[in-house]
């Protein structure tokens, strides 16, 4: 039976299949029946199995089997649609759309289930008491947040110009010159031209942009080399107008190296939020080694607001002392307020002093150099970026250098073609006398006529990439200088730079040490204000007032940016651009050490042109990391003076802290030196050593004379060991063929006591270089750990972070059990810094190393117990609550197979299932859209007709059929009640009854009249009958004999009585009857009387009707039979009708059809059984009298005639006897059966 659909609104029941409620019209839910696919029986939709046949109604969703790769093609109608297609139903199925999954398999439930399963699994922390990666080095764990290596995604301008050059050469067949390239590039769009790659423009056009609005040019592009310094468009608008690729090149790009430093603190925090807890607990990724030395720099570069509040302690410890002041004075510094026009102007000044504001000449000279200069000037200042620089710059240093060499040749050959530029003049120090010596070292590699570029080329060839970097850097300056007045510009530039460096070095003496950040906060502003470079500022070349954030951070006077710039040059920051790392990838290690930076320093120190001012500038740049530095233009303009004034002041002991960080940041990029943050108060010996080394450096570079001022500065800061070290190491770096061994060589050469921080570095860095000093040999480490160990000579390895001493200690703590143990694949990916952290496919996979760790913990706990006070391990493990064995707990955590089967392929070792790209839609509104689900037919297809099975009759069925036939044809047998003997009792009882009744009748007839001794008096009916008979005296009386011989025994006596009475009254008896036998009886009973026989009257009521009509009038015929004259006369004179009948119909017809029509009185002589039917007619007067039964006959005879005859009395006696016996038998029978039934009940 189908169930009704109950309306949800009114609750009314509706027929199955109804769509709307019959009562309220509300749409009913879909059909509640699911057609069984097996027997087609409709089942309620909540059924899983068919009610009829038990077949499953809901399809089981089994994960598709793995298909071979060659079969993994897109099949829109089958496999691929199973995941994305709409639910379908079978043809003819009116049930609800089949759910894609069983209820228990829905996504939410699965998630809940997964979470429940995960909850059931023991947590790693519970098992080990530590984080799941506690045994891993921090740098390995923390590398999860961001990938270490980001491939460049944008084509650099070098590529572009290379293409231009090639295209020109193909067209002209000649070697393309820079002019040709510039001319071709002149067709560049404005935005590209504004990016610093604009072709050379006429001089008059150069001036115009200075006052024009460079709305379309992003600040970060136009600012460093743009010739439109008066750009005033808001940076927001500029950023909005950025092209995509420019936007990618811009500040928003991220760098993994910068992320832990706070530059992307917010992002990092957000990313950490998305990380698992255990991953988040691991701290910043992959930066423990690399970032520690650079954190200080990065933190110094960061606005305080950007610094992550929850940064790790190591980061806080490594933060430079000036970070606090920076944070406090953040709002007041131009770093934080990018919209400040003054600050922008300061940035302009700063840019004027640091780099070239005039891009046009640079572009004319060498767009490549210009871009590089832009990079150099931008990179250090943008702590939020780094990656964009990677994208911007080409990793191919060779091509860059080649192009630079070409340009260099061009510049050397035609220096006059370069447009002039005043920026170098603007950046020049106030003392014109310092120009000559300052610019020598920079000019050396740039000018062929002065410094013999051949030598530079030779150096580039012999000194490998390190020399190339130095050349490259100098090429920036070269380009700038070439653009205008080469010599003067370069002199001024170098002077400016060196002067600022000197200033910063000199001012470092006032900086608070690292260990006292609070003091630094207090004193930071002072020394910052004091050390502001006092360089003349050319307001004409000022950059636009409104700068983007990142560029504002680069603004002049922001010593943090300057510091970052220098830091960037030193290559010791995490924010170091990747291109910078990649450029040195061949020679550097994993820490991102930039040999270019070293070479830059090398070149800087080797340059004959380097003077004190240059070193001061460099020092000032380093020192500019202090955020407390004032940003006033006056301070910047007065920088040379300030440097000179403060040059004599010795550096304080605390001052070198940040500088130490700075320097060690530079060194940090080399794997050998990565822990400078721990540098404390250096000893005087170390200062001397550093000074000596610096001297040696300058001696080797041939710039001893020029470095005197710097040396003085160094001497004035005997407590700043890092700065001399840095400078001292620079030539070593330059000379070292293998950058990885330079430090060790240096140590060997110097053979002097090293400061603590260097010793610390030595333990961590130098040991990593040489395999023999590794804490854990690579061959003993697991492969994944060994793989993560930076490759000393590989480019990728150069970008990998280096393990610090702490990490090495961690590695050293790795038990032997873990050595060589394969980590799960997902963890390996984590360690490498993959983009995705995969969840362990199986719990068992996770347990490998955890189990080892837990075992180790147990062992350590035991050791601790034995030793009393154990190590940290013991302390940690001692706090752990006792727990069940790990093996047991992990065993419980095994996932069921079905859950494993549900796990996405991406999380399994099988890897994601490759899906072929679906074909796009070719027609319809979804043209071009891929993966369109096929349209299901609206009308369900007709059900396939199934051929009925052939009817096969088995032998068993045939036997059953024959048996059924026999039973159906068999004679019915009487049903005999249980316990009855019907066949025996019934005939006997029947015979007994017959005998008793017959005996009573016979005894009554033949026996004495013992019963009928007296007769009752005549009843009114009898009296009225007698009256009627008397009233009809002398008239013909129609006597109807309407009874058969069967009633003759009761009615014949009455007939005889009435005939006698009529005869006594002299009435003629007219006999008539509608029964054949009645006529015979009439003839018999009226024989000898005055009678008229009317014979048989057929036609029932119709005949009687016709007879009645004839009684009123004279009829010649009745019912087609002609009447004789006597008959007609008799009928016409009939005075009474006496009806002798025992039949009710006859009584009714005579009364209603004859008596009522003719009006002749009717009297009835009936049987006693018919008396009840005659009484109503008698009561109504339709019967004049009535005589019923033998009793009335005897009474009538006794009352109105003579005494009843003996025959009547015998009949009455026999009748009475029979009636008494019958009554007794009825009572007896009722009593017997009642008792028997009661007994049966009692027995039951």
Partner 1 sequence: MRIRRGLLPVAIAISVGLLTLAALLVPLPEISDLILGWVGFLATIALILGVLNLFAVHTSRLIKGNLYSLVLVLSMALMFALAITDSDLVGLTDNALTTAFNWALVPLESALASLLAFFLLFSGFQLFKRQRNVWSLLFLLTAVLMLMSNVFTMSGRLPQNISAFFISLRANIQAIVVTAGMRGILIGVALGTITLSIRLLTGIDRPYNHE
| Distance of closest approach, residue 1011 Cβ to partner 1, in angstroms | 5
C-beta of 613 vs 1072, nearer to partner 1: 1072
C-beta of 809 vs 1225, nearer to partner 1: 1225
What burial class does residue 101 get, using C-beta atoms within 10 Å of its C-beta: 0-12 exposed, 13-18 middle, 19+ buried? middle
C-beta of 884 vs 1235, nearer to partner 1: 1235
d(CA 253, CA 196): 19
| Distance of closest approach, residue 98 Cβ to partner 1, in angstroms | 55
| Distance of closest approach, residue 971 Cβ to partner 1, in angstroms | 20
| Distance of closest approach, residue 966 Cβ to partner 1, in angstroms | 27
Torsion sign (Cα): 655, 657, 661, 663: positive
| Distance of closest approach, residue 1230 Cβ to partner 1, in angstroms | 4
C-beta of 927 vs 991, nearer to partner 1: 991
C-beta of 965 vs 990, nearer to partner 1: 990
Residues in contact with partner 1 by CB under 8 A are 989-990, 993-994, 997, 1010-1016, 1019, 1044-1049, 1077, 1080-1081, 1083-1084, 1098-1099, 1102-1103, 1105-1106, 1109, 1113, 1119-1121, 1148, 1168, 1171-1173, 1175-1176, 1179, 1191, 1212-1213, 1215-1216, 1218-1220, 1222-1223, 1225-1234, 1236-1237
C-beta of 266 vs 1009, nearer to partner 1: 1009
Find the helix or strand (DSSP H, E) in which 718 lies: none
* Phi (first) and psi of residue 369, to 5 degrees: -65, -35
Q: Specify whether the CB–CB gap between 321 and 511 falls below 8 A.
A: yes
d(CA 138, CA 808): 10
Angle between helices 397-413 and 367-378 (to 10 degrees): 120
C-beta of 1119 vs 1200, nearer to partner 1: 1119
C-beta of 63 vs 991, nearer to partner 1: 991
d(CA 730, CA 667): 10
What burial class does residue 477 get, using C-beta atoms within 10 Å of its C-beta: 0-12 exposed, 13-18 middle, 19+ buried? buried
Beta bridge partners of 1117: 1122
| Distance of closest approach, residue 1197 Cβ to partner 1, in angstroms | 14
Map tokens 């005579």 to a residue: 1150
C-beta of 923 vs 1113, nearer to partner 1: 1113
d(CA 284, CA 138): 8
Beta bridge partners of 1121: 1118
C-beta of 92 vs 1020, nearer to partner 1: 1020
C-beta of 784 vs 1041, nearer to partner 1: 1041
C-beta of 12 vs 1148, nearer to partner 1: 1148
Closest CA to 185 of 376, 360, 393: 360
Map tokens 């550093």 to a residue: 690
d(CA 497, CA 623): 13
| Distance of closest approach, residue 1129 Cβ to partner 1, in angstroms | 19
CB atoms within 10 A of CB 620: 35
Q: Specify whether the CB–CB gap between 444 and 609 falls below 8 A.
A: yes
Q: Provide CB contacts within 8 A for 704, sequence distance 6+.
A: 695, 698
| Distance of closest approach, residue 1220 Cβ to partner 1, in angstroms | 5
Q: Structure tokens of 749? A: 């050469």
| Distance of closest approach, residue 950 Cβ to partner 1, in angstroms | 43
| Distance of closest approach, residue 1137 Cβ to partner 1, in angstroms | 19
d(CA 86, CA 97): 9
| Distance of closest approach, residue 1035 Cβ to partner 1, in angstroms | 24
Strands 1117-1118 and 1091-1096: unpaired
What burial class does residue 727 get, using C-beta atoms within 10 Å of its C-beta: 0-12 exposed, 13-18 middle, 19+ buried? buried
In a 3-state reduction of DSSP, which class is residue 551?
helix
| Distance of closest approach, residue 1187 Cβ to partner 1, in angstroms | 15
C-beta of 48 vs 1230, nearer to partner 1: 1230
C-beta of 49 vs 1233, nearer to partner 1: 1233
Q: Provide CB contacts within 8 A for 799, sequence distance 6+.
A: 148, 149, 578, 581, 582, 585, 590, 592
| Distance of closest approach, residue 1221 Cβ to partner 1, in angstroms | 8
| Distance of closest approach, residue 998 Cβ to partner 1, in angstroms | 8
Beta bridge partners of 49: 56
C-beta of 22 vs 1168, nearer to partner 1: 1168
Q: Provide CB contacts within 8 A for 29, sequence distance 6+.
A: 5, 8, 96
CB atoms within 10 A of CB 1145: 13
Q: Specify whether the CB–CB gap between 395 and 155 falls below 8 A.
A: no
C-beta of 78 vs 1207, nearer to partner 1: 1207
C-beta of 968 vs 1113, nearer to partner 1: 1113
| Distance of closest approach, residue 1158 Cβ to partner 1, in angstroms | 13
| Distance of closest approach, residue 1175 Cβ to partner 1, in angstroms | 5
| Distance of closest approach, residue 969 Cβ to partner 1, in angstroms | 22
Angle between helices 453-462 and 464-483 (to 10 degrees): 150
Q: Structure tokens of 1218? A: 């029979």
C-beta of 933 vs 1179, nearer to partner 1: 1179
d(CA 715, CA 732): 20
Torsion sign (Cα): 75, 77, 79, 85: positive
Q: Specify whether the CB–CB gap between 577 and 255 falls below 8 A.
A: yes
Q: Specify whether the CB–CB gap between 357 and 543 falls below 8 A.
A: yes
Beta bridge partners of 28: none
Map tokens 């291109």 to a residue: 579
CA contacts within 13 A on the Cβ side of 378: 35
| Distance of closest approach, residue 1030 Cβ to partner 1, in angstroms | 24
């Amino acid at each position: 039976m189908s169930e009704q659909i109950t309306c949800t609104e009114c609750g009314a029941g509706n027929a199955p299949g109804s769509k709307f409620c019959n009562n309220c019209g509300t749409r009913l839910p879909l059909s509640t029946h699911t057609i069984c696919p097996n027997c087609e029986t409709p089942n309620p939709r909540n059924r899983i199995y068919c009610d009829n046949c038990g077949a499953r109604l809901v399809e089981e969703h089994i994960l598709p089997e793995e298909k071979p790769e060659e079969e993994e093609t897109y099949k829109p109608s089958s496999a691929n649609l199973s995941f994305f297609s709409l639910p379908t139903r079978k043809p003819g199925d009116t049930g609800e759309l089949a759910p894609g999954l069983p209820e228990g398999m829905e996504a939410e439930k699965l998630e809940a289930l997964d979470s429940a399963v995960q909850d059931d699994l023991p947590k790693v922390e519970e098992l080990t008491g530590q984080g799941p990666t506690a045994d891993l080095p921090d740098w390995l764990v923390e590398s999860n947040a961001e990938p270490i290596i980001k491939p460049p995604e944008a084509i650099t301008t070098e590529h572009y110009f290379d293409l231009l050059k090639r295209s020109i050469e193909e067209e002209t067949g000649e070697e393309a010159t820079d002019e040709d390239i510039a001319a071709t590039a002149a067709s560049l769009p404005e935005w590209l031209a504004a990016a610093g790659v604009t072709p050379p423009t006429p001089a008059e056009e150069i001036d115009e942009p200075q006052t024009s609005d460079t709305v379309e040019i992003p600040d970060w592009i136009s600012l460093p080399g743009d010739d439109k310094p008066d750009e005033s468009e808001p940076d927001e608008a500029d950023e909005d107008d950025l092209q995509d690729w420019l936007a990618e090149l811009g500040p928003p790009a991220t760098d993994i190296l910068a992320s832990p430093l706070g530059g992307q603190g917010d992002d990092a925090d957000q990313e950490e939020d998305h990380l698992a807890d255990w991953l988040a607990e691991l701290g910043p990724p992959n930066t423990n080694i690399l970032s520690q030395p650079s954190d200080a720099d990065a933190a110094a570069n960061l606005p305080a607001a950007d610094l992550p509040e929850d940064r790790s302690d190591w980061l806080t410890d490594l933060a430079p002392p000036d970070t606090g002041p920076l944070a406090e004075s953040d709002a007041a510094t131009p770093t934080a307020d990018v919209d400040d026009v003054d600050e922008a102007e300061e940035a302009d000044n700063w840019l004027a002093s640091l780099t070239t504001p005039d891009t046009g000449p640079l572009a004319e000279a060498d767009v490549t150099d210009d871009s590089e200069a832009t990079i150099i000037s931008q990179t250090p200042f943008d702590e939020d970026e780094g990656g964009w620089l990677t994208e911007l710059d080409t990793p191919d240093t060779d091509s860059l250098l080649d192009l630079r060499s070409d340009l260099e040749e061009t510049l050397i050959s035609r220096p006059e073609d370069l447009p002039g530029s005043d920026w170098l003049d603007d950046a020049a120090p106030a003392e014109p006398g310092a120009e000559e010596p300052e610019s020598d070292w920079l000019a050396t590699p740039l000018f062929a006529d002065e410094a013999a570029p051949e030598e530079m080329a030779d150096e580039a060839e012999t000194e490998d990439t390190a020399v190339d970097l130095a050349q490259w850097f100098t090429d920036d300056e070269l380009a700038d200088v070439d653009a205008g007045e080469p010599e003067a510009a370069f002199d001024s530039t170098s002077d400016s730079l060196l002067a600022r460096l000197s200033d910063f070095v000199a001012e470092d003496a006032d900086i608070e040490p690292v260990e006292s950040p609070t003091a630094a906060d207090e004193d930071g502003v002072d020394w910052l204000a004091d050390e502001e470079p006092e360089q003349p500022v050319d307001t004409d070349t000022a950059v636009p007032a409104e700068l983007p954030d990142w560029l504002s951070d680069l603004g002049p006077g922001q010593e943090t940016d300057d510091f970052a710039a220098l830091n960037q040059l030193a290559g010791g920051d995490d924010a170091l651009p990747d291109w910078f790392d990649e450029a040195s990838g061949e020679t550097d290690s994993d820490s991102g050490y930039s040999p270019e930076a070293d070479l830059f320093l090398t070149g800087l120190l080797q340059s004959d042109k380097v003077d004190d001012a240059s070193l001061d500038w460099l020092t000032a740049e380093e020192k500019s990391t202090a955020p407390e530095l004032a940003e006033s233009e006056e301070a910047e303009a007065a920088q040379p003076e300030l440097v000179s004034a403060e040059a004599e002041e010795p550096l304080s002991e605390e001052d070198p802290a940040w500088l130490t960080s700075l320097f060690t940041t530079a060194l940090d990029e080399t794997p050998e030196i990565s822990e400078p943050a721990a540098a404390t108060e250096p000893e005087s010996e170390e200062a001397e050593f550093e000074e000596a080394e610096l001297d040696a450096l300058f001696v080797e570079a041939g710039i001893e004379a020029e470095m005197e001022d710097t040396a003085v500065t160094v001497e004035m800061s005997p407590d700043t060991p890092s700065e001399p070290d840095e400078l001292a190491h620079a030539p070593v770096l330059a000379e070292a063929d293998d950058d990885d061994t330079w430090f060790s060589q240096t140590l060997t050469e110097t053979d002097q006591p090293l400061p603590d921080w260097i010793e610390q570095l030595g333990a961590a860095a130098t040991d990593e270089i040489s395999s023999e000093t590794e804490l854990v040999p690579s061959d003993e480490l697991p492969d994944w750990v060994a793989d993560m160990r930076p490759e000393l000579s590989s480019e990728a390895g150069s970008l990998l972070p280096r393990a610090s001493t702490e990490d090495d200690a961690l590695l050293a703590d790795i038990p032997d059990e873990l050595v060589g143990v394969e980590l799960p694949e997902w963890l390996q990916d984590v360690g490498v810094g993959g983009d995705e952290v995969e969840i362990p496919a199986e719990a068992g996979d996770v347990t490998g190393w955890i189990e080892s760790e837990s075992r180790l913990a147990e062992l350590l706990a035991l050791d601790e117990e034995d030793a009393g006070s154990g190590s940290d391990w013991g302390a940690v493990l001692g706090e752990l609550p006792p727990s069940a064995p790990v093996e047991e707990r992990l065993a419980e955590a095994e996932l069921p197979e079905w859950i494993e089967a549900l796990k996405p392929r991406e999380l399994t070792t099988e890897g994601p299932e490759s899906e072929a790209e679906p074909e796009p839609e070719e027609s319809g509104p979804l043209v071009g859209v891929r993966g369109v689900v096929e349209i299901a037919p609206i009308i369900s297809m007709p059900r396939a007709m199934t051929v009925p099975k052939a009817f096969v009759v088995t032998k068993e069925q045939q036997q059953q059929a024959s048996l059924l036939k026999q039973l159906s044809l068999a004679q019915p047998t009487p049903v005999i009640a249980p316990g009855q003997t019907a066949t025996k009792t019934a005939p006997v009882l029947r015979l007994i009854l017959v005998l008793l009744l017959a005996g009573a009748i016979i005894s009554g007839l033949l026996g004495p009249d013992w019963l009928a001794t007296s007769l009752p008096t005549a009843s009114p009916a009898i009296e009225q009958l007698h009256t009627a008979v008397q009233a009809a005296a002398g008239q013909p009386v129609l006597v109807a004999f309407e009874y058969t011989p069967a009633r003759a025994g009761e009615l014949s006596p009455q007939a005889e009585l009435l005939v006698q009475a009529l005869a006594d009254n002299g009435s003629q008896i007219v006999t008539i009857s509608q029964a054949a036998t009645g006529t015979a009886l009439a003839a018999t009973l009226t024989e000898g009387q005055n009678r008229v026989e009317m014979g048989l009257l057929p036609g029932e009521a119709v005949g009687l009707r016709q007879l009645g009509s004839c009684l009123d009038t004279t009829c010649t015929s009745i019912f087609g039979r002609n009447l004789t004259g006597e008959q007609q006369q008799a009928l016409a004179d009939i005075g009474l009708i006496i009806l002798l009948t025992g039949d009710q119909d006859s009584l009714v017809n005579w009364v209603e059809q004859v008596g009522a029509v003719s009006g002749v009185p009717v009297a009835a002589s009936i049987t006693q059984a018919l008396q009840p039917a005659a009484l109503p007619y008698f009561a109504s007067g339709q019967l004049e009298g009535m005589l019923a039964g033998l009793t009335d006959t005897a009474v009538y005879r006794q009352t109105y005639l003579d005494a009843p005859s003996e025959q009547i009395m015998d009949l009455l006696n026999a009748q009475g006897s029979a009636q008494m016996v019958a009554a007794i038998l009825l009572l007896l029978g009722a009593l017997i059966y009642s008792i028997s039934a009661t007994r049966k009940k009692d027995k039951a």
